[in-house]
Amino acid sequence: MLKQTHLLACALILCLTGCAHTGGERVSSDVPLPHTWTARDIVAWQPVRLPGKQPTEFVLQRQASRMALEANAQSSASMLRRNLRIEPEKLGTLEFSWHVPALIAGADVGQRESDDSPARLVLAFDGDRSTFSAKNAMLSELSLALMGEPMPYATLMYIWCNKRPVGTVVQNPRTDRIRKLVVASGPDQLNQWLRFERDIRADFELAFGEAPGALLGIGVMTDSDNTQSNALAWYGDIALR
């Protein structure tokens, strides 16, 4: 049986990665496809903070002759999130870009104590929560008590990893309902804009071994709280095709 304090910490992490929305005005389904959010749009997304953690600073900033969302993490963790609902049959391609000047020394996305990344693109999905394990059911209940929303059925993160090869799927050390897909790795592509075009359905099936449910939210996250260090990243436009 997990200790209550351990469960609480897990629930807080899940609250950060994007809570599920099951009804009411907090769900926004008015996103036409295709749709593009510019950096000016993203900076106005909902800030999501971890209780007890310093928030990452997100500001609009020009970088390399283009307007971008600058994320500056000083031993901090938080994200910007856009709630929406896109049914699984409408899921297509996700396009995004980021620019990272340096890796986080000592970070390892597979370890609880050092799970930091300079850049993350986060997708939250709906699904059948009745299939949750006892642990995940307790985490979802804690998330509901803390934030007023149950945790997502599944969360997929696109990440920059210090050492794992591109294409590696990393299970979150706190819960198997968060899976991370490495899309950039190591120092070779630092200090340049990287553009990604991802098949959402294919990536979800690779990470979770099943078809995705509805897409409930999308977010950006830069965190350095576990390593107590600094991280900097710039995010460009995000598009759903």
Cα angle vertex 216, ends 162, 200, to 5°? Answer: 55
226 vs 151, residue with greater confidence: 226
- Domain residue extents for the chain: 28-129+152-240
| Mean pLDDT across 49-67 | 91
Residue 235's nearest CA partner among 102, 116, 100 is 100
Average pLDDT over residues 74-85: 95
Residue 180 is predicted with a pLDDT of: 97
Residue 59 has pLDDT above 50, yes or no: yes
More confident: 140 or 15: 140
Q: What is the largest CA-CA distance in the chain?
A: 53
Q: What is the reported pLDDT for 74? A: 97
Q: What is the pLDDT of residue 2?
A: 42
pLDDT > 90 in the chain, percent:
69
Q: At what angle do helices 134-147 and 4-17 cross, to 10 degrees?
A: 70
CATH topology of domain 28-129+152-240: Jelly Rolls (2.60.120)
List, as one string, the DSSP characters of 79-94: EEEEEEEE-GGG--EE
pLDDT 10s digits, 1-38:
444 444 454 555 555 555 544 443 344 556 888 999 99
Q: Residue 143's pLDDT is what?
A: 72
